[in-house]
Structure 1
Amino acid sequence: MTFRYDPFEQMNRLFEQTRQSVWDGVDTNVSVEQTDEGYVVMADLPGFEKEDIELQFDDGVLTIEGEVAVDETAGQATHRRRRTVHERLSIPGPVLVDDITASYHNGVLEVTLPTEEDAGDTHRIDID
């Protein structure tokens, strides 16, 4: 078995580490699936509490925002930094705004957006 060194893979890994250290962002690993009833959005948000996350649906766009303070201890020094997330997802079909649901368990946010033919308006979404 031969191992081939890939400098581009190492470069991508370094860029990603730099981006995370500079922006203190969170990689949300968001997925959107279309079902017979509408759309299901899944986002990995480890370390957040549901109270730290704000969801809003406005004019066909689902916005996921959150912020949490993280304390890191190394020896006797404690460092505090903020972790933030900001995702905006365009939902291609009309959505039944009053029937949008969201749940958050074990660091995974799941938002269900049922569709209909005529929908619209802004709606704040509570997380269960």
Structure 2
Amino acid sequence: MPRQQQISLALCFGGSYTLTYLLCQLLPLPLLWYLPLERRWVFGWPPTEGLIMGWYGMLAWSLGLGLCCTALLFAWQRLRPRQNAEPEARSHMSDLCLMAVVVFTLFFIARSLMVHELQNIELERFYQQDQLDGHQH
């Protein structure tokens, strides 16, 4: 496989993986959820209460769609007639893909930090309320 094709496949996987992971954060998609306190798995929409982990579901979505997009690009590259794109155009496309991955990654990090802080506040309130309910009984 030519080096240019390897680079385009790697960029396709990296870009689609990053975009899918970001979209899993932004859109309400059904995910694979782990409830560590109950030691059980749930597939679907996020449970409403308690400690939940959606990382496994986001990882599954991202890997699945990243591999599908890469496989489609690989098939398209195999089936299309050979066309020699200009190196400058290929370089611009690579730069654009890498910039998109960087922007999505920075946005994801900023959003994750913000959501993480909000989730800590919510969990603290939840456990404080739980302790108050426990002392009242």
Same fold (TM over 0.5): no
Q: What is the TM-score of this pair, normalised by structure 2?
A: 0.22
Q: Could you say which structure has the larger radius of gyration?
A: 2
Q: What is the TM-score of this pair, normalised by structure 1?
A: 0.23
Structure (1 or 2) with the greater helix fraction: 2
Q: Which has the higher contact order (CA 8 A, sep 6+)?
A: 2
Structure (1 or 2) with the greater strand fraction: 1
